[in-house]
Amino acid sequence: MGKKVMFVVGSPNRHGNTRTVVDWAAEGAREAGAEVEIVDAARLRYKVYGCQACMACRTAKEFRCAVDDEAGEIIARLPEQDAVVLETPIYFWGLSAQIKHVIDRMFCLVKDVERDGYRLAPGLEKARLAFIATAGGGPESGLRLAEESVKAISGFVGAGAPAFRSRLVPNAHSEDGVRDSNTALREKAREFGRELAS
């Protein structure tokens, strides 16, 4: 049976550059035999946006957000995945609000198991966390900052920074798009998907 790869797309634009690159990467993962699921974070039904710092997840036995909504259901399924890929366009030098809502709720994937030494039990020990981001500007227009942020989160939730992978797409101007003219990028994205499925 193939690996399970979940893409969580944080772009409000269903047909934009970020979603196009995600579709290419998903195509590559499927080619490699993976079971692929694409989640549209912008269209999940939320009872709350972002983490509410209620701390109810800290005492729960399972890795699950205490807020019962569609985002909570998705996050509860992340530990079952072999790879979890977070995607975002770069907005104002950072992650989109849509992906940040999901990332903040992922706080439930970390538990205190020891108070004195503050040892953590991470919920994504078996999954690889990966990242796809597109930006209208160059690598320093927020792409690298966003990548470092998600890489740090990867280590915190147990997905292992050494296994962390990213595909950054600079100069993806929304008016030009990446769809029709960029066969090299398409192949790189497909290869990224195949790598996640291996």
* Domain extents in the chain: 4-197
Task: Find, among 141, 12, 11, 15, the residue nearest to 85 by Cα.
Answer: 11
pLDDT tens digits, 98-126: 999 999 999 998 887 665 555 667 778 88
Q: Are strands 4-9 and 83-89 parallel, antiparallel or unpaired?
A: parallel
Q: Specify the pTM.
A: 0.92
Instruction: Please give the CATH architecture assigned to the domain spanning 4-197.
Output: 3-Layer(aba) Sandwich (3.40)
pLDDT tens digits, 126-169: 888 999 999 999 888 899 999 999 999 988 887 655 688 999 99
pLDDT tens digits, 172-189: 877 667 776 678 999 999
